[in-house]
Amino acid sequence: MRYLLFTVLSFFCIHCFAQQSIKSWKDVNYAGDRMIYHKLDISLPQENRATYPVVIVIYGSAWFGNSFKGMAMQTLGRPLVDAGFAVVAPNHRSSKDSVFPAQINDIKSAIRFVRANAAKYHFDTSFIGITGFSSGGHLAALAGTSGGVTEYTVGKVTENIEGNVGLNMKFRSGVDAVVDWFGPTDIRVIDSCRSGAGVITPNSPEAYLIGGPIKDNPEKCALANPITYVDAGDPPFLIFHGDKDPLVPICQSEMMNTALKKAKVPSQFIVVPGGRHGPGVMEEKYYKVMVDFFNNQWKLRKNKNK
């Protein structure tokens, strides 16, 4: 992931577009402060309805970016808005602003904001999906598996995964479906998935995320790993990963999918032949698969609630 941020930005600048929606809000602060990393954008579909199911979209940046929400809206957001979903794209703190778990604390705050402001923004919060690419995929997966988790301990290290960001703590931060686009999972083995801790260089994005060398911080690595929190109550997952990804090896998603299936969580894993870190994977035909997945999960939830 050494050149992940440059690669992601270069690829997605080519795919920018003017988002079409009947109504949108820009730079809404979800945390009750004035920080740029606590702002989000909201777009509603052209179809005029009373409420819309929601999908939260998270950008990739190797956890180095704190203001790339527009990139998530321009890529993953577009097909979702076109399909009738309200799309919410939050910023979050970078690893330079604060180390883990600040990033997932922010995403959970954004989810609580959605529930707290359903009437104002026409959200149907009976369904909240979440998706993200690269480091955003990691945060989407982590939001999916750590629903209901507050403090969690591995070894001698305890982290507050829920956090206390924002003014809406009485609302839940769980989600109903997850689409993970080639997100990292077990950062101890991200370089090889074979040789274990100590492979990643001291100045890698993963080391910045946890605030220290990978080989010296196995507990922190485990706490940042979405697989750590997998249980049978997790929402359904859809995972995309290219088998030629040069930055996040496909074994990361293989491990995620295996853990979900072992816990009997519905999980669909799509391996993209020749797919790299974005190119070949984040394409229209796979966007359609994502949209169909969220639509199916929304309909299942509606039928269950009847």
Give the model confidence (pLDDT) of 61-86 as tens digits: 999 999 999 999 999 999 999 999 99
Residue 35: its pLDDT value, please?
98
Backbone angles phi, psi at 8, to 5 degrees: -60, -45
The per-residue pLDDT for range 85-120, each reduced to its tens digit, is 999 999 999 999 999 999 999 999 999 999 999 999
Tokens of 111: 């989810």
Which residues share a beta bridge with 237? 178, 267
Is the pLDDT reported for residue 194 higher than 60? no
Q: In terms of CATH architecture, what is 4-305?
A: 3-Layer(aba) Sandwich (3.40)
Backbone angles phi, psi at 231, to 5 degrees: -150, 175
Q: Which helix (H) or strand (E) holds 54?
A: strand 52-58
Banded pLDDT at 201 (limits 50, 70, 90): low
Residue 57: its pLDDT value, please?
98
Which residues share a beta bridge with 88? 42, 56
Banded pLDDT at 200 (limits 50, 70, 90): low
Residue 303: its pLDDT value, please?
85
Is the pLDDT reported for residue 229 higher than 50? yes
The per-residue pLDDT for range 167-193, each reduced to its tens digit, is 999 999 999 999 999 999 999 988 667
Q: Are the CB atoms for 242 and 274 separated by under 8 Å?
A: yes
Residue 14: its pLDDT value, please?
42
